Amino acid sequence: MKKFHNLSNDYLFKNVFYNHHYLSMLLQDLFQFNIKDYDYTSPVLPKENYHKADAECDLVLANKSNIIAVEMQNQKVGSLENRTLVYASKLYGRQLQKGDFRYEKLKPITIIWLLNYRYGEKETQEYQILEKNFTNDLVIT
């Protein structure tokens, strides 16, 4: 008997959707998001030093003006909001070189989460598309 895996398997997800055509179809169908002029970049996010935890997005794409990270998450692990802020800050940080203070030149970051679990209070059997501005949780004093 053959064993089948679905695309929520991390290895399969990354390998199937590293194909630009398939990822383009997925994002266009779900979010009407066009990635025609985007290229894949390294999914490895920088860490400050040896003792800090590694972070890696499933897929990262960029064009001249934007960066997109696509993440498949099967289990609810910690705070999605905080994880989003960590990923976004690392994606922003890797755009700057040492001594570069041109923060206004940073490309906007879009993180697309494909969750294989229910998020929030809404209990539904259907997938949900949620747009949330997590920067509202950021307090600058």
- Give the residue extent of every domain in the chain: 10-137
The string of pLDDT tens digits covering residues 57-73 is: 899 999 999 999 999 88
Please write the tens of the pLDDT for every residue from 15-42. Answer: 999 999 999 999 999 888 899 999 999 8
Cα–Cα distance measured from residue 66 to residue 91, given in angstroms and rounded to the nearest whole number: 11
Residue 119 pLDDT: 75
Output the CATH code of domain 10-137. Answer: 3.40.1350
Q: In this prediction, what percent of the chain has a pLDDT beyond 70? A: 79
Q: Are the C-beta atoms of residues 57 and 41 closer than 8 Å to each other?
A: no
Query: In the predicted model, is pLDDT for residue 94 greater than 80?
Result: yes
Q: Is the pLDDT of residue 49 over 80?
A: no
Q: Enter the DSSP assignment of 46.
A: P
Tell me the β-bridge partners of 70: 59, 112
On whether the CB atoms of residues 81 and 137 are closer than 8 A, the answer is yes
Name residue 62's beta-bridge partners: 39, 67
How confident is residue 139, by pLDDT bands cut at 50, 70 and 90?
Answer: low
pLDDT of 20 = 94
Tokens describing residue 47 = 């860490």
User: Tokens for 36?
Assistant: 């025609």
What order of strands is seen across the sheet that includes strand 109-115?
39-41, 59-62, 67-73, 109-115
Residue 52: the pLDDT is 67
pLDDT tier, 141 (very low <50, low <70, confident <90, very high otherwise)? very low
The reported pLDDT for the residue numbered 84 is 86
Q: What is the pLDDT of residue 137?
A: 56
Taking Cα atoms as reference points, which of 44, 47, 74 lies closest to residue 59? 44
